[in-house]
A and B are shown apart, each in its own frame.
Chain A
Amino acid sequence: EAQVTQNPRYLITVTGKKLTVTCSQNMNHEYMSWYRQDPGLGLRQIYYSMNVEVTDKGDVPEGYKVSRKEKRNFPLILESPSPNQTSLYFCASSSTRVPGLAVSYNEQFFGPGTRLTVL
């Protein structure tokens, strides 16, 4: 089954304790992205990756890191979480409509979400 998976689904942690949220897709998609969803703000992009070893900041990258060492995986790292990073996080991926043409992406497929609480 084609899907985007995230782990863990729920996480409660304390300020300053490093954590990683994993994201994996089995659709061979080039593009992957992380979003956070907060009430009244919709989804805001944290980081994105257009392919292996190619990552860039989205709208709200502060306090987050990512890596893309393999095509299928795109982990989100919080080196020193703070309470303002309490949120619902979604990973997403998409393919290109024209192979190799980075500006022709299809719709994004979303993972099930990770609800993070930082105390």
Chain B
Amino acid sequence: AQSVSQHNHHVILSEAASLELGCNYSYGGTVNLFWYVQYPGQHLQLLLKYFSGDPLVKGIKGFEAEFIKSKFSFNLRKPSVQWSDTAEYFCAVLKYTGFQKLVFGTGTRLLVSP
């Protein structure tokens, strides 16, 4: 079973629309959480990360994510998307089971139309 779930596989938005991409994980215990972005033809880049502290984390390019421990969720948000946000977004969970393991969700393809 997939341990990191991204329920939206494809999302299409118009510019200036608000974005929320869901991410749920099924691990208990200590986890660190990440969102990566992959622009067309490029490698993965880190958008934001959560290790501890304030569960609302702000990343680059106006993105933010909220860690809700009780819901095992780490949803990505942006209040107003731009055409340049067209990309694939991956949620990832770093779990500790004697060693570190980074587990990725299957990704969400976002298309922003101008």
Q: Which residues of A contact B (CB under 8 A)?
A: 31, 33, 35, 40-45, 50, 56, 58, 90, 92, 97, 102-103, 105, 107-113
Contact = CB atoms under 8 A, between A and B. Distances in A.
A40 B90 CA distance: 12
A85 B49 CA distance: 31
B83 to A, nearest CB: 23
Nearest to A111: B43
B75 interface: no
B94 to A, nearest CB: 7
Contacts of B45: 110
- The 5 closest A-B CB pairs, nearest first, are A42-B106, A43-B104, A110-B44, A42-B104, A110-B43
Contacts of B90: 42-43
Interface string B18-52: 00000000000000001010000011111001010
Interface string B90-114: 1000101011111111110000000
B1 to A, nearest CB: 13
Best-surrounded residue of B43, B105, B106 (most CB of chain A within 10 A): B43
Interface of B: 4, 9, 34, 36, 42-46, 49, 51, 90, 94, 96, 98-107
A112 B43 CA distance: 5
Nearest to A54: B99
Given A42-B90, A43-B90, A103-B96, A108 B42 contact: no
Contacts of B46: 107, 109
Contacts of A40: 9, 106
A116 to B, nearest CB: 15
Contacts of B42: 112
A45 B102 contact: yes
Contact of A42 (B49, B94, B98, B105): B105
A108 B102 contact: yes
B44 A103 contact: no
Nearest to B97: A103
B44 A90 contact: yes
B72 to A, nearest CB: 18
Given A42-B90, A110-B43, A113-B43, A31 B104 contact: no
Given A42-B107, A107-B46, A33 B102 contact: yes
